[in-house]
Amino acid sequence: MDVYDWLKLGATGSRLIFSADVWWSLRHHNPMCLNNETWSLSRLSFNIQAMVETYRHCFSPASKDGLVDRYIKWNNNNYFCVILNVDESCLGSPIRSRFGGIIRNTFGHYLAGFSGFIPRSSDILLVGLYAIYKSILLPKDMNIDDLACNSDSLHCVNLIKGPRVSYHIHAVLIPDINESLSQINVSLNHTLTEGNQCADLFAKLKASLDADFLTHVSPLEDVRDLLRNDTIKTFFLRE
């Protein structure tokens, strides 16, 4: 078939599937030619299906039941337990991948904070997953057994809470996270960025440090104003 006719036919049929097929075939072609790297058919198929589902979700009609309040605060869902907020960051040139988080009681009082560094990685999804994985270790060491863990990465939350995916690029790390989560009474939830500002600061704090995992026993000066805002339940406009 002539390539132009083939493209025209594909573009007027199942356009999302066709476009995802072409894109991921090209993505496979590049490492295969440049690095002699061959992906399995299962991995290629998963990537195509995942892209199609993402675009279908983006263009699906908005449901009134899915709308969230325009004003967001910390602990927006009013969990009555210890609250862990976690965030990730890939910034700079060259890119430095960091993560951080903060543990507070139900009233917003500071219990502990942490930050960490992942060398030789610019994969924001890996950093987000690893942030959740490492963040669970600290509450366990503090003998906290009732916990709400909040991340503003919906992709990470869905990967961890969803059905097991054998061929995902992070298929080894995700079961390890679930294993850690199963060892304490913890709920993993998605939070909006406006309710996750303290964790965001810890993830970006002292970006030059190379510590694998660093615990902050007392709140740092830079985070005190944000802590105060969260404690008094300040609302922030959702952009």
pLDDT in tens, 155-192: 999 999 988 877 788 888 999 999 988 888 889 999 99
Does residue 135 lie in a domain region? yes
- 115 with 225, same domain: the answer is yes
Final residue belonging to a domain, choices 62, 89, 104: 62
Does residue 195 lie in a domain region? yes
- 120 with 214, same domain: the answer is yes
Does residue 196 lie in a domain region? yes
pLDDT band of 53, cuts 50, 70, 90: confident
Final residue belonging to a domain, choices 43, 62, 81: 62
Instruction: For residue 223, give the CATH number of its domain.
Output: 3.30.420.10
pLDDT at residue 211 tops 60: yes
| Average pLDDT over every residue of 93-104 | 87
- 83 with 56, same domain: the answer is no
- 100 with 129, same domain: the answer is yes
- 143 with 192, same domain: the answer is yes
CA angle 122/127/130 to nearest 5° reads 145
Asked if residue 175 lies in contact with residue 164, where contact means CB atoms within 8 angstroms, the answer is yes
- 51 with 132, same domain: the answer is no
pLDDT of residue 96: 81
pLDDT band of 100, cuts 50, 70, 90: very high
Structural domain count of the chain: 2
pLDDT of residue 14: 67
- 131 with 179, same domain: the answer is yes
Q: Who has greater pLDDT, 216 or 13? A: 216
Per residue in 115-156, pLDDT tens? Answer: 998 887 788 899 999 999 999 888 888 988 889 999 999 999
**SS3 letters across the chain:** CCHHHHHHHHHCCCHHHHHHHHHHHHHHHHHHHHHCCCCCHHHHHHHHHHHHHHHHHHHCCCCHHHCCCCEECCCCCCCCCEEEEEEEEEECCCCEEEEEEEEECCCCCEEEEEEEEECCCCCHHHHHHHHHHHHCHHHHHCCCCEEEEEECCHHHHHHHHCCCCCCCCCCCHHHHHHHHHHCCEEEEEECCHHHCHHHHHHHHCCCCCCCCCEEECCCCHHHHHHHHHHHCCCCEECC
| Average pLDDT over every residue of 33-54 | 76
pLDDT of residue 225: 92
Does residue 139 lie in a domain region? yes
pLDDT at residue 214 tops 70: yes
| Average pLDDT over every residue of 63-88 | 79
The residue segments making up the domain with residue 105 are 72-237
- 216 with 113, same domain: the answer is yes
- 47 with 105, same domain: the answer is no
- 91 with 49, same domain: the answer is no
Does residue 67 lie in a domain region? no
pLDDT at residue 69 tops 80: no
Does residue 137 lie in a domain region? yes
- 87 with 194, same domain: the answer is yes
In the predicted model, what is the mean pLDDT of the chain?
Answer: 84
Does residue 32 lie in a domain region? yes
Does residue 98 lie in a domain region? yes
- 58 with 77, same domain: the answer is no
Final residue belonging to a domain, choices 40, 62, 84: 62
